[in-house]
Structure 1
Amino acid sequence: MASNDSLLFPLVNMDAVANMQNAWVALCLRVQAADGDTGAALHSLFGEPDLLAAIAPLNCILMLASPAVLDAALLARMPVARVSFAFEAGALQDDDGRKRVAALHESGYRILVDGALAPGVSAPVGVTAVACDFTDSEPQSRVLPLVFGPHLAHGVDSAARHAQCARVGYEWFSGAYALHPAPNPAPHDGSSRKRLMTLLGLLARDAETRELEALLKQDPALSYHLLKLANSAAFAHSTAITSFGQAISVLGRRQLQRWLQLLLYARQQADGLPNPLLPIAALRAAHLEALCKLNGGGRDEQDLAFMTGVFSLLDLLLGMPMAEIVGELNLPPNAANALLARSGPLGELLAMTEARQVSAAMLEHAALTPRQWLGSQLHAYHWAIQVSRNL
């Protein structure tokens, strides 16, 4: 039975913030207080010792309606080097709001004004950047010229909207734009895709190492990324890893399966930028694995959950219908149903990892408490951040 304290713990929505180079630079945090008391919810959240450690080295941008909820005891838990604030513009137009922002700035915090100030109202002293929600609108003009940035565009849900925001001066972006890329007029390399599908099939059926090694030798890009990973700080060694056999030995069988699944997303893009799908795939995989473990799943079930999370973006990566991919890979029925229809226990958990906002009712249906949900989020983001830094 979950404790009352655990049930009153706030729901936390986390959104990764990326820069113009597709690198994650921060996380936006929004709290949903179970009893409407945002201050108490923030005390509970920042009282968790693992919060900032799990998302390091990223900082968090706390999205708040007003600075009024920030008392001295709460600020003592929010290091100025790790926490920034984005306040709704409407709360910064009276004397009290402006004084609070000035005091926060004096203490060293970075402040963003979220939304447009009323005509004729200047930005409060201490505001250093602009944030704006573009879920239902496109940018009409350039960001305020008198503040320094980097400026944050959130609710950016398409490649076209991302380009619009970048043109008017936004440098940081959050939203689902990576899941809605611009159409690619270039035909897909059929032989490359065939090799990828073959490798995916080998991974899905836990093939022999020699089969994986033989296929890797046919794919220079994937081979490069595997050797780079094996020689990275994540697997520190005194001697360089120079062969696939060594790499496989260093990583270990189980880790090799997981890293290879993610390495599929690490191929260099035509514009030279990292693939924005990579950290999202890592996030879904680790989150689904953590949720499976919380639900009592064993090691094999957790591995399948991880793989399902990675594979959930293959249709975007390969430019193929998911039904065709699942058919070619001959996946277990529970994974196939999860990927095709978000059905079954695994599919329901996958849908939760994809949801923009999880409700208390969704958690109750999944037999999870808000505190458990936060733990699974932190585990997933910690893994995804490390993947982004090592691939």
Structure 2
Amino acid sequence: MRREAMLGRDQRVAGYTFMLRRTADEHPDPNLPDVQRLYDETLLGNLQRMDIARLLGQRLAFVPISPATLDHPLIEEWPATGTVWLLNVDTLTTVDASLPARLAELKTRGFSFAVQADAAIRPERHALLQHMDYVVLDVSSEDIPAITAQIAAVSKLAAGKRLVATGVQTLEAFHMCHKLQFALFMGPFITRRENLGNPVMGPSRAKVLDLMNRVRTGAEQPELAAQFRHDPALSVRLLRYVNSPGMGLMNKIGGIEQALMVMGQDKLYRWLTLILFTGGQTQELDQAVLENALVRGRVAEQLAGRALFAKARDEIFVAGLFSLLDVVMHMPMEQVLKQISLPAEITEAIVSQRGPYAPYLALAIACEQDDQSSIEALAKQIGRDVADINGVHMDALLWAQQLSGDV
């Protein structure tokens, strides 16, 4: 399984597209009906085993299938809320009367539908557009005249459809699509390392880094409390977090000293790490990067399992988080890490991809990048079954979704 995040117009994660990884030795023509049906059954079966219902309702899940699969028994059991069936109509030469009827029936149950724009605007498929909720456009070319022409063609045939931009490469491309009134955005722009220069760090992040270094060097609670009192905004965030449902406290905490006592050094350090992601000038996009980093850290930590001690698993999680810190701070990673006191194993894993933590971090990144050969090699290296990774990934998505909302 692989997933790709999609952002809404507010630059927050709105959902994911889920796909199967295809390998080089698979059938040369995946669009053959029998091959496509097998692909769809495998995808749906994997998502069902991952208990995707836990994600739906809070987020959208775009699931690519062929129109023929809409009659599969699994569809009858599928949770409708949040599910968007992305129909593969490339091989559909005519639209049988039964298909629009089936689409209408499923829409009454709460399902949504999407289709690729270039496939849907062909004359033989016009009838499908009326039933679509989303129309997907590949904008990787950044050819504005061609993109606007496609939008115009879709609007002429079926107005009011929500547009999804895929292949968004850069922040500049995101802003272009935002102006063109796209509703959802997918692509590497979310974690792309752009304009890494030598910016001046804002005071809020400087304060967080100072606190992190104090925690790492064993500062006492009164010293930490005094630092929090100098930053009322940070104090409010700490109290809000410690009183969030995720902490599970029976009684409300009202003071900084008490909050620090409840948190403890390890939890406080983790929380400060999260705050680093949300203290910049692009806070909405930073939140999306944070969620991606949380998934990366959680996957790496869970893959370590019982193979490593708790302290090492904690540090692997931090390595996963910090591996995207250069993206939100807009500076080279080496420069970021110079300002933070970290164990050598974390720095080594992030910068040179070496050391005991490196394979876990590399495997989490390979999952994001759909690098099948690396996934198989790294899973073997750490003694994990590739089949386990799907479940770990879904658990991490749900965990990150909840935690990022509490930060």
Q: TM-score, normalised by structure 2?
A: 0.81
1:112 maps to 114
Deviates further, 171-180 or 231-240: 231-240
Does 2:370 match 1:357? yes
* Unmatched tracts of structure 2, length 5 or more: 27-34
**Cα contact 2:304–2:313 (8 A) shared by 1:** yes
How far did residue 106 of structure 1 move?
1.8
Q: Counterparts of 1:251 and 1:186 in 2: how far apart (Å)?
A: 34
Q: How does 1:1-391 map to 2 (within 5 A)?
A: 12-32=1-21, 37-48=38-49, 50-54=51-55, 57-64=58-65, 66-96=66-96, 99-100=98-99, 102-108=101-107, 109-117=111-119, 118-121=121-124, 122=126, 124=128, 125-139=130-144, 140-141=147-148, 143=151, 144-145=154-155, 146-180=158-192, 183=195, 188-189=200-201, 191-204=203-216, 207-235=219-247, 237=249, 239-267=251-279, 269=281, 275-293=287-305, 296-354=307-365, 355-359=368-372, 362-367=375-380, 368-391=384-407
Give the residue type in structure 2 aligned to 1:219. Answer: D
Q: Counterparts of 2:90 and 2:264 in 1: how far apart (Å)?
A: 54
Deviates further, 352-361 or 279-288: 352-361
**Cα contact 1:153–1:172 (8 A) shared by 2:** yes
How far did residue 187 of structure 1 move?
5.4
Q: Which structure has more helix as a fraction of its residues? A: 2
1:271-329 Cα deviation digits (max 9, x unpaired): 777633221222222122112226x1221111001111111122223333211333343
**Cα contact 2:320–2:361 (8 A) shared by 1:** yes
Deviates further, 188-197 or 71-80: 188-197
Q: Counterparts of 1:169 and 1:123 in 2: how far apart (Å)?
A: 24
How far did residue 340 of structure 1 move?
0.8
How far did residue 158 of structure 1 move?
1.2
**Cα contact 1:55–1:378 (8 A) shared by 2:** no
Q: Counterparts of 2:137 and 2:356 in 1: how far apart (Å)?
A: 37
Q: 1:364 to 1:249 in 2, by over 3 A?
A: same
**Cα contact 1:225–1:266 (8 A) shared by 2:** no
Give the residue type in structure 1 aligned to 2:277. Answer: Y
Q: Counterparts of 1:270 and 1:24 in 2: how far apart (Å)?
A: 14
Give the residue type in structure 2 aligned to 1:201. Answer: N
> Aligned residue pairs: how many?
377
SS in 1 for 2:388: helix
**Cα contact 2:194–2:327 (8 A) shared by 1:** no
**Cα contact 2:113–2:132 (8 A) shared by 1:** yes
Q: Counterparts of 1:76 and 1:100 in 2: how far apart (Å)?
A: 16
**Cα contact 1:101–1:111 (8 A) shared by 2:** no
Q: Counterparts of 1:357 and 1:69 in 2: how far apart (Å)?
A: 25
Q: Counterparts of 2:325 and 2:58 in 1: how far apart (Å)?
A: 28
**Cα contact 2:326–2:333 (8 A) shared by 1:** yes
Q: 1:194 to 1:72 in 2, by over 3 A?
A: closer
SS in 2 for 1:112: strand
Q: Counterparts of 2:85 and 2:258 in 1: how far apart (Å)?
A: 46
* Unmatched tracts of structure 1, length 5 or more: 1-11
1:151-193 Cα deviation digits (max 9, x unpaired): 2212223101111211222111122213237759995346545
How far did residue 234 of structure 1 move?
2.3
Q: Counterparts of 1:43 and 1:30 in 2: how far apart (Å)?
A: 10
**Cα contact 2:67–2:88 (8 A) shared by 1:** no
1:5 maps to none
Q: Counterparts of 2:389 and 2:93 in 1: how far apart (Å)?
A: 36
1:107-166 Cα deviation digits (max 9, x unpaired): 222111124135445251411210123344445216322253432212223101111211
**Cα contact 1:135–1:155 (8 A) shared by 2:** yes
Q: Counterparts of 2:348 and 2:404 in 1: how far apart (Å)?
A: 29
2:31 maps to none
Q: Counterparts of 1:22 and 1:208 in 2: how far apart (Å)?
A: 38
SS in 2 for 1:127: coil
How far did residue 253 of structure 1 move?
4.2
**Cα contact 2:297–2:316 (8 A) shared by 1:** yes
Q: TM-score, normalised by structure 1?
A: 0.84
**Cα contact 1:102–1:126 (8 A) shared by 2:** no
Deviates further, 377-386 or 265-274: 265-274
**Cα contact 2:190–2:289 (8 A) shared by 1:** yes
Query: Please, what is the CA RMSD of the aligned residues?
Result: 3.1
Q: 1:112 to 1:375 in 2, by over 3 A?
A: same
SS in 1 for 2:64: strand
Q: Counterparts of 1:314 and 1:78 in 2: how far apart (Å)?
A: 37
How far did residue 266 of structure 1 move?
2.4
SS in 2 for 1:380: helix
Q: Counterparts of 2:12 and 2:113 in 1: how far apart (Å)?
A: 22
1:9 maps to none
Q: Counterparts of 1:138 and 1:293 in 2: how far apart (Å)?
A: 46
